[in-house]
Amino acid sequence: MQIAPNRVVTVTYTLTLNNGSIADQANTDHPFVFIHGIGQTLESFDSNLQGLAAGDNFQFTLQANQAYGEPTADWVIEIPRDIFRGEDVPADILQIGATLPMQDQNGNPMDGKVLSFNDDKVTMDFNHPLAGEVLHFSGTVTAVREATEEELDHGHVHGPGGHHH
């Protein structure tokens, strides 16, 4: 069976950057399992896998504009330091370079990297950590199957490698 929209795809891969460092990996013990074509991956990642089948190897490069774009100053934001104070907030939570889970004004989760802080404000970078990077993927498609109606309704894979209810 070939990879096409609404099919569950299981892959192993290594993601490297131009400097040769490994940015991410999915191996046989912890493969990457997703529903193809519903926005769970980068559109360009999906398009490079389209038509492959279990057992096929892949290797492709995504330029920054095909992946997470270029970093933008608009996503570097000063936040009041008071947000990081309170009895439920660890006193040492602010560390330069630390990535902290945050929420936008609508409650959407996003990660921010602490760039600097003082008594009044914290400067955080909300650009994707791979913004500006060229991504080199190499891997193998290990399985392809039809997504169930329940998986499509829920928007995620169930069972091995996926979500368990």
Q: How far apart are CA 48 and CA 86, in angstroms?
A: 47
Q: How far apart are CA 50 and CA 69, in angstroms?
A: 22
* pLDDT value for 164: 47
With 0-12 / 13-18 / 19 or more C-beta atoms within 10 angstroms meaning exposed / middle / buried, residue 117 is middle
Task: Please report the pLDDT score of residue 165 as a whole number.
Answer: 47
Angle at 131 between CA 125 and CA 132, to 5 degrees: 120
Q: What is the pLDDT along the chain (165 residues), one digit of tens a residue?
A: 999 999 999 999 999 999 999 999 999 999 999 999 999 999 999 999 999 999 999 999 999 999 999 999 999 999 999 999 888 888 889 999 999 999 988 998 999 999 999 999 999 999 999 999 999 999 999 999 999 999 999 988 987 555 544
Tokens of 44: 């360009």
pLDDT at 158: 87
Ranges assigned E (strand) in 2-158: 7-16, 22-26, 32-35, 57-62, 76-80, 99-103, 109-117, 121-125, 135-146
* 77, β-bridge pairs: 124
Domain annotation for the chain: domains and CATH numbers: 7-68+130-154 (3.10.50.40), 73-125 (2.40.10.330)
Q: Cα dist. 61→45, 48, 49, 105 in Å?
A: 9, 9, 12, 34
